[in-house]
Amino acid sequence: MNLDKDLQSIQEARTLAAKAKEAQLEFKHYNQEQVDKIVKAMADAGYKEAERLARMAYEETGFGKVADKTIKNQFGTKDVWESIKDLKTVGVIDVQKNGKILKIAEPMGVVAALVPSTNPTSTAMFKAIISLKCRNGIVVSHHPKALKCTTEALRVVSEAAEKAGAPKGLIQCLTIPTLEGTDALMKDKNIAVILATGGMPMVHAAYSSGKPAYGVGSGNVPAFIERTANYQKAVADIIYGTTFDKGTLCSSEQAMIVDRSLREKVIDEAKRIGCYFVNAEEKKKLENKVARGAKLNADIVGKPASWIANYAGFSVPENTTVLIAECDKVGKDEPLSIEKLSPMLAFYTVDGWLEGCHRSIELLEFGGIGHTMAIHSNDKEIIMKFALEKPAFRIVVNTPASVGAVGYTTGLMPSMTLGPGTWGGSIISENVTAKHLMNVKTLAFETRPVNPGNCVTSFDLPSDMNIKSSYQEGNFTKQIEERLRARAGNPSTNPLGNVSRKSVSEKHSALLGSGISEDEIQKIIREFNK
């Protein structure tokens, strides 16, 4: 019987979610050394194949440029691994209040990951890495325009994970991408949480699925050049940001706001490095082609400036880096004030930092609230005023916004998924990373007795104990961790080897044990009291 494509996609989503869940039920009992060995292998493999995967993504989607996609792939693997390699995600991860509070990590389950066509390979590998770091499985739903490259990126990290000891089937990817299949995946009983990166309709669908979801928002990013700024560096940073991978990052600069005292210097500098300021007629042509009713024409996303100009009906020098249009308003009456996801900038002149502040807020509220903005200034007081007043959760200073917001040129956590907070319709205002994909149990002793009596009141451990160090030294926290992992009757594992495999029928009864035995509890207490 021949099934329609949407029905095939729905069935595939259900099948893959079930396979990932089966593998995750085994993987959840791995210890920290095993998990880290697997995740590092994934990061190393993705980093090694960064350029090849970048080329595949460019050839399949037509977005951006290979060199920048290579950087994104390297960043989404190696940089991300370096940022999370010391994060404890198994067993006891924190001890507080002199042993009265213990924090214990648990995986969420299976992650449904939505991956966009603008950053397909980097986002897919990033999400797989942070998911497995927390002992989750993952099923990826990718954009139809990026099927081959996304599938290949996940094959690379999946093979590396399995060679390093991960259960087979932990990383899955839809091969029949449809809206119906993606919707079925998000609502599947085996899915625990959704990581939604992509267009706003899909993000909203994730929020409506009935499952916990981390979503992104649009990023209509303003960049303000204040009068005390190093204007040459500021211009270079903004142009770098908006041209990086042809503007396909949601944190890419969309508007340049300049203090009037620097206006002519900034214009001259921008022209010197290849920017083209459109005239009134050319601006009108751009508006008609780029922004239709304040909605972005997807045909121009990730295209070079010269291509966009030709598409709009005028010509510019072939080496033009960015198209810049002077604007005096924000909103539907100023079509180029939208998020453009391409090497184009709206250009605003303001009188002083306060007007620059208001203009930045207008742009954020029009299409990027909660996301990102940049300020270029050497006045610390003004920088702080911007930080306090702007409705953006990433305010980067004297650096390109596109790569600063993701953590490439700043101290922010490296991430390919940027939360816009409740202002942007998301529950998270941070850069999403591994710490957001684990559940944390709390063991809490009594601190205010309501009844008298002698009893254990803590584990008598030092406050703010270094869990990583104690784990390496093999003391009590490691033993706790191993017993929590093992549960009653679970097979012991070689810290750097494969977990012993059992049949499905045996596995479910063995791996879901009833807990730590009384003898084990007594042993732990005795060791504490030594």
Q: Which residues are catalytic?
A: 250
DSSP for 103-158, written as a single string: EEEEE--EEEEEE-SSSHHHHHHHHHHHHHHTT-EEEEEE-GGGHHHHHHHHHHHH
Residues 6+ apart with CB under 8 A from 116: 123, 143, 146, 197, 198, 199
Distances (CA, A) of 79 to 17, 40, 182: 28, 11, 29
Q: Identify which of 69, 251, 319 has the alpha carbon closest to the alpha carbon of residue 309.
A: 319
Structure tokens at 219: 């990023």
Are 243 and 341 in contact by the 8 Å Cβ rule? The answer is no
Strands of 193-196's sheet in order across: 171-173, 137-142, 110-115, 193-196, 213-215
Long-range contacts, 347-351 (Cβ 8 Å, 24+): 347/255, 347/256, 347/258, 347/277, 348/255, 348/256, 348/257, 348/258, 349/258, 349/260, 349/263, 350/257, 350/258, 350/259, 350/260, 351/259, 351/260
CB neighbour list of residue 442: distance below 8 Å, 6 or more residues apart: 101, 102, 103, 104
DSSP 447-506: SS-SS-----------TT--HHHHHHHT-HHHHHHHHHHHTTTPPP--TTSPPPP--HHH
What gap in Å lies between CA 63 and CA 245, rounded to an integer? Answer: 8
